[in-house]
Structure 1
Amino acid sequence: MSFTRRAAVRRAALATFALASTGLGARAQSHPTPPWPTKPVTIVVPYTAGSATDALTRIVAERLSPRLGQPVIVDNKAGANGSIAGGVVARAPADGYMLMMATAATHAGNPNLMKTVPYDSLADFTPTGYCGSIPFTLAVRADAGIATLADFVARAKAAKPPLTYGAGTPSARVISSTLAQRIGAELVHVPYKAAPLALADVLSGQIDMTFIDVGTGLPQFKAGKLKALVVASEKRSPLIPDVPTFAEAGLGPFALDAWFVVVAPARTPADVAGRLRQAIAEIVAEPETAARLRAISIEPEPMAPDRIPAFMKAEKEKWAMLVKAAGIDPE
């Protein structure tokens, strides 16, 4: 074959390859990767059903589903004060299909109260939406003969053996320890896997008290079975407006509210995280959703997405200070 002929054959082959490549590219562009999400999305709840976190997550999931065009599943993974759920989500693929309803306890409390947790509460997650906050209140049985906080303080100081408190969340542990320190009385810690379990044992008389989020305790307050004595927040709760704050009760300033942030695993694609941020912000701003959240004592609060990481970092540092001040050793 002559040089001229070989060159012609080579040029024809290259032209054929170029055409084929162009066709493949056109076909690839005509079938782009489907936009997220293409299957159900799961939000992991770090506590049992019946908790305020669970109720909030179900409201968010219900409103998020139509915005994403896919079912949004709520998956309760209770245990180890929420650290089991945190570890699961931290190790999940960063594709937007597994999220978590992070709380003050899981992302600020656990790192300060536990020697080891299976996640870094800041580095392992991408915040995608702040949902709101809820205060805690001291709850005792209505028939315990304790009508006011002053009654409780007198009982606690005189009690032999000491009164017992249940803590189903890190928040309840820190608030109860702080209360004991400020009133100068011993209170014996009884750990629980979840707040509703501690509340049930207060109702049955197995323990003397617990700090419970207002939303979870409200049905029992309304039914007259439990009495709320003090709120661990900067302001009173509108759902139990007659209950004073720590400062109003003469215990000094103190606030340790529960807060809720939807997070995704770190390195979640920016477009996926952005879509979640927009959707969650819209949900929290809806009047209907806001009313439903307030009905369970969660105050919906807008927070710019770029502020959330700094907020979570500051809360983690605040918890470190409070845990140290209360004399609690990590376990």
Structure 2
Amino acid sequence: MSFTPTRRVFASSLIALAASGALAQSGYPNKPIRIVVPFGPGSGTDVVARIIAEELQGELGQTVIVENKPGANGTIAADLVAKAPADGYTLVMGGSSTHSSAPSLFKNLPYDPVTDFTMVGNTVETQFALVVRAESPAQSLKELTALLQAKAGKGTFGFGSATTQIAGAALMKRLNLNVTPVPYKSNPLAITDLIGGQFDFMFLDLTTAMPQIRGGRVRALAVAAPARVSELPQVPVFAEIGVPNFTLYSWLGIMGPKGLPEPVADRLANAMTKIMNKQTVKDRLAPTGKPIPPVARSTYPAYLREQRDGWAGKIKDAGIQPE
């Protein structure tokens, strides 16, 4: 069948439109980009996001804005980005709270953590410490356990993320203690009430915890890691104080909505690879956790499924029921 002149014109127009779309994508970015952070300012996720935003700005030659959208264990921010236009201008600093544990914590999660996102680069794995306020009589996990036992079910712990909720619940189950969890929109908000004596303990990522520890406002009793960490060499890991195999890491990564055009996704992924290979960036990220080496973008769906399934097991072991 031969084209009529009208069909030829129509076909040429489609080709021209496709070409212009490709050119627009290859010109990405031509306006500011925003990275939505699921937790409040000062959180570990926020600190990492701001380092990455500054570096991306240099790599992409475009303004990169960090926007905090805390709430619902980070799922408000993740859902916002999942439903954003797939053009590369709205990204999220996702991670263990929003993409690994959320499917097991919420019965009706409004997004699929694997299929509704295009992941373009990992950043760090973070570690967590068990902390109490400086004025707490508990100088060790043993003393904290005795304190909570004496409260006979009236003890409390705060949390501002899914990972810290899971850590607290898992430890209480291991110690056979009945303690009430108190939720916050982000960990920095919870710290204020911890210092004020509103609850007994909490878990904190080291990025958020260290300024409070150095300032003498909170005390670390243990670190959920396989070996002592350089930031807190005097603080034992749980295995040293009678709680074996109690470790906790969370990951953070940059992602956009599903369906990002390949040129855009590749541009972001290449920029993230350059950033994460810089020694200066590794040094800047080191206090926030262990930088994760760049990997091929094609491996991320499998990585997200693996993390989701692994955290599902942690949540089950902690005895947390989905909301």
**TM-score scaled by structure 1?**
0.88
Q: Distance in 2 between matches of 1:32 and 1:264?
A: 20
For residue 227 of structure 1, report the CA deviation from its aligned partner.
0.7
Q: How does 1:304-323 map to 2 (within 5 A)?
A: 304-305=295-296, 306-323=298-315
Q: How does 1:9-48 map to 2 (within 5 A)?
A: 32-33=23-24, 35-48=27-40
- Residues paired across the two proteins, number: 309
1:194-235: CA deviation from partner (whole Å, max 9, x where unpaired): 111111111011111111111101111111221111112333
Q: Distance in 2 between matches of 1:103 and 1:94?
A: 19
Alignment partner of 1:302 is 2:284: no
1:265 to 251, 257, 273: 257
Alignment partner of 1:113 is 2:100: no
Q: Give 2:164's aligned amino acid.
A: A
**Mean CA deviation greater in 310-319 or 44-53:** 310-319
Q: Distance in 1 between matches of 2:120 and 2:109?
A: 22
RMSD after superposition? 2.2
Alpha-carbon contact 2:126-2:249 (below 8 Å) kept: yes
1:176 to 165, 168, 171: 168
Q: Distance in 1 between matches of 2:106 and 2:321?
A: 9
For residue 52 of structure 1, report the CA deviation from its aligned partner.
0.9
Q: Give 2:28's aligned amino acid.
A: W
**Bigger Rg over Cα:** 1
Q: Distance in 1 between matches of 2:187 and 2:224?
A: 16
For residue 100 of structure 1, report the CA deviation from its aligned partner.
0.6
Alpha-carbon contact 1:157-1:184 (below 8 Å) kept: no
Aligned to 1:104: 96
Aligned to 1:7: none
Q: Distance in 2 between matches of 1:244 and 1:310?
A: 34
Alignment partner of 1:325 is 2:317: yes
Q: Distance in 2 between matches of 1:245 and 1:316?
A: 25
Q: Distance in 2 between matches of 1:283 and 1:238?
A: 24
Gaps of 5+ in 2: none
Alignment partner of 1:206 is 2:198: yes
For residue 32 of structure 1, report the CA deviation from its aligned partner.
4.8
Q: Give 1:309's aligned amino acid.
A: P
1:102-123: CA deviation from partner (whole Å, max 9, x where unpaired): 0100101111111112210000
Aligned to 2:146: 154
Secondary structure of the equivalent of 1:253?
A: coil
Alpha-carbon contact 2:276-2:294 (below 8 Å) kept: no
Q: Distance in 1 between matches of 2:257 and 2:159?
A: 28
Q: Distance in 2 between matches of 1:303 and 1:236?
A: 26
For residue 298 of structure 1, report the CA deviation from its aligned partner.
1.9
2:237 to 245, 268, 275: 245
Secondary structure of the equivalent of 1:135?
A: strand
**TM-score scaled by structure 2?**
0.90
2:282 to 277, 287, 290: 290
For residue 271 of structure 1, report the CA deviation from its aligned partner.
1.7
For residue 320 of structure 1, report the CA deviation from its aligned partner.
1.1
1:90-149: CA deviation from partner (whole Å, max 9, x where unpaired): 111111111110010010111111111221000000110010111111110122121112
Q: Distance in 2 between matches of 1:236 and 1:135?
A: 11
Alignment partner of 1:123 is 2:128: no
Percent of aligned pairs sharing the same letter: 39
1:47-80: CA deviation from partner (whole Å, max 9, x where unpaired): 1111111111111010111211110111111111
Q: Distance in 2 between matches of 1:309 and 1:243?
A: 36
Aligned to 1:236: 228
Q: Distance in 2 between matches of 1:303 and 1:288?
A: 15
1:63 to 50, 55, 60: 55
Q: Distance in 2 between matches of 1:171 and 1:161?
A: 23
1:218 to 181, 190, 210: 210
Q: Distance in 2 between matches of 1:267 and 1:94?
A: 6
